[in-house]
Structure 1
Amino acid sequence: MKYSKLGRTDIDVSHVCLGTMTWGKQNTQQDADQQIEFALDQGINFWDTAEMYAVPPTPDTYGKTESIIGDWFSRHESRRDEVVLATKIAGNGLSWVRDGGDVTGEAIVQSVDNSLARLKTDYIDLYQIHWPNRTSPHFAKHWPGRLNFSDVDTQQQSAEMLEILQALDECVKAGKIRHFGLSNETPWGVSEYLRLSEKHSLPRVASIQNEFSLLHAKDWPYLIEGCVREDVAYLPWSPLAAGALSGKYIDGARPQGSRWSYAQRNGLFRDTEASNQAIKAYKDIAERNGLTASQLALAWVDQVDGVTSTIIGATTMDQLKEDIKAFEVALSEQVISEVAEVFKQYPVPY
């Protein structure tokens, strides 16, 4: 297993980050235990979760994933130091989470305590803002016209960020969290947090996790260059585009029990004809080169300059083993070139 520094911190994280959002919905405690043990045996030391998990998010599944992880920690207290544990505070819009309200300083302090209780640990290595208070161009809102940036009060947003940083500082000084990160953010958001932390001597953003894959690479090059220059770890989530790049949903297939067989909060916005054609082409490249479609997609993300650790999730042990093997693959220049040709045909398929 390869490792990289988590931004400017002293933490080394594996290139594979174990995603957990299906635990508590598609996966049981027993499933999670098996995945954890296997991942640790492979040298994976980085886990990612969130207070709003499992997914799809509902009042009934809220907090279940953290509780499953906490159950494992309660039985393996001596192994806590083997894990770099990341979790997130949910943003606004979920009526069952703080009445759907914004992330505030008060919400940070209370949510950290609640996550610690569910996780059954004394500290969180990386505490992340799941999405910003303002609407960000994620979840298919990146097309021109979907958002109006000019209508957002910049000074108000900056003031809210400062309040968040001050609350995070309080949690760091209390020993409850070690570092903080962002998720579903933009270049402006990252830059503003960096500016505020430097100006006010507050915790510095260590990482950002955004959706990034062969079907959704909008962060290259602009946001990722900023991350490299500023030593902010870039953590791709959904490197398989919610499973689409495995090829299992080609031509409308819906395997029983798969993620796309469940109702989605934001709909199946990744399911487009352009995506379908791109996935077929990538799958063909993979099979001609002795790889599965998933392995090609994951190996491609891993070799992108600036990527620190890739968040993967699996509902079965077979999937987990297949995906982890992808990070042992060194794609040839020929394969990278073939992938690039398809990418140019379908640069923004959804």
Structure 2
Amino acid sequence: MTWGIQNTQAEADSQLAYSLDAGVNFIDTAEMYPIPPTQATHGKTEQHIGHWLSRNKQKREDLIIATKIVGAGFSYVRDGSPIASSSIAIAIDDSLARLQSDYIDVYQLHWPNRSHPHFANHWPNKLKPSTTDVAEEIEGMRDILSGIKKAIDSGKIRHWALSDDTPWGILTYLRLCAEMNIPKPVSIQNEFSLLHAKDWPYLIESCVFENIAYLPWSPLASGMLSGKYANGARPKGSRWTMLQRNGLFRDNLQSQGATKAYCDIAIKYNITPSQMALAWVDQIDGVTSTIIGATTMPQLRENLAAFEITLPEECLKETALVFKQFPAPF
């Protein structure tokens, strides 16, 4: 999601080549990327991937490419309309054109149409579920599924999935899929890290029991767990130096205290803070595959190496003590 603002096409090419050589085969993107989203850059990340695919067509079948349809709120995307069967049809064709591909492996709903407890909205009474018209919401989900079915039947998408949803969302879609004879969602991606583990255990249990892949995004808490923002630092070119919507709410005294403690543990065990944070996520039961991002090749190499690390038991114990002290820092 940095390709098109923080990264050039040449840098995207280098990252893809290195990742594939390292065994990566899953590429996640979205029509609203790069971040921060703007009308001028809308779809550029998909375009970067498509430009690479146009020059590496022989690799397409080896890859699982996932993208997402944006929800309501962006006036320059289908007039800010919510996700619906009609918007799905348009969005898929647009993504296919940008990706220069005949099909999308996993097509994801970027967030629910209803209000949802993500992006710092999970605190008590921040949302009021009692105000939701549940019957209307379910009818909207039926309409979405009808659009998903058409896309699957046409061969434009092979699977579909969720993002930024809840146990109720998962289980309601599963019930509707059974009722409408539509393939069930294959995965869900939600924010999950040492600083933001609200999906454990309730949503992750639902995923495991229902055989839905759980894909954590922002496992470094928007880069905070790398330690690079310690003591108010803002490294040149980093995301927190940019005008953006979903990063700085993570920066508070509790998060800073937790991050310092985690960084100290990582140093003690001779690994980088980023690698410890990624290895911790990877060792959580129920996590399927972790979505990582990097703006530089050194970051990419460091992050990929984390998945070769098994954190020792003593390290996990020390990490657990910090986690108990800061269970929900933002």
What TM-score, normalized by structure 1, do the two folds share? 0.94
Please state if 1:312 is matched with 2:283: no
Aligned 8 A contact 1:52 1:90 in 2:
yes
**Which residue in the other structure is 2:322 paired with?**
342
For the residue of structure 1 that corresponds to 2:302, the secondary structure is helix
For residue 78 of structure 1, report the CA deviation from its aligned partner: 1.0
For residue 267 of structure 1, report the CA deviation from its aligned partner: 5.6
**Which residue in the other structure is 1:324 paired with?**
304
Could you give the per-residue CA deviations for residues 277-329 of structure 1, whole angstroms, max 9, x where no partner exists?
Answer: 10000000001001000000000000000000000000000000000000000
CA RMSD of aligned residues (A): 0.6
Separation in 1, partners of 2:79, 2:225: 35
Please state if 1:105 is matched with 2:105: no
Could you give the per-residue CA deviations for residues 136-171 of structure 1, whole angstroms, max 9, x where no partner exists?
Answer: 000000000110101110011111111111111101
Separation in 2, partners of 1:153, 1:206: 27
Separation in 2, partners of 1:272, 1:98: 36
Could you give the per-residue CA deviations for residues 202-246 of structure 1, whole angstroms, max 9, x where no partner exists?
Answer: 121110000000000000000000000000000000000000000
Q: How does 1:75-224 map to 2 (within 5 A)?
A: 75-224=55-204
Q: How does 1:157-306 map to 2 (within 5 A)?
A: 157-266=137-246, 268-306=248-286
**Which residue in the other structure is 1:3 paired with?**
none
Aligned 8 A contact 1:25 1:54 in 2:
yes
Aligned 8 A contact 2:240 2:247 in 1:
no
**Which residue in the other structure is 1:26 paired with?**
6
Aligned 8 A contact 1:168 1:203 in 2:
no
Larger RCO (alpha carbons 8 Å, 6+ apart): 1
For residue 97 of structure 1, report the CA deviation from its aligned partner: 1.1
For the residue of structure 2 that corresponds to 1:307, the secondary structure is coil
Separation in 1, partners of 2:322, 2:119: 23
Q: Which consecutive aligned stretches of 4+ in structure 1 deviate over 3 angstroms post-superposition?
A: none
For residue 266 of structure 1, report the CA deviation from its aligned partner: 4.0
Q: Where do 5+ consecutive residues of structure 1 fail to align?
A: 1-20
Q: 1:134 to 1:279 in 2, by over 3 A?
A: same
Aligned 8 A contact 2:3 2:12 in 1:
yes
Identical amino acids, percent of aligned pairs: 59
Separation in 1, partners of 2:76, 2:265: 44
What TM-score, normalized by structure 2, do the two folds share? 0.99
Q: Where do 5+ consecutive residues of structure 2 fail to align?
A: none
For the residue of structure 2 that corresponds to 1:312, the secondary structure is coil
Separation in 2, partners of 1:41, 1:308: 21
Aligned 8 A contact 1:211 1:239 in 2:
yes
For residue 264 of structure 1, report the CA deviation from its aligned partner: 1.4
Code of the residue aligned with 2:183 in structure 1: it is: P
Q: Count residues in correspondence.
A: 330
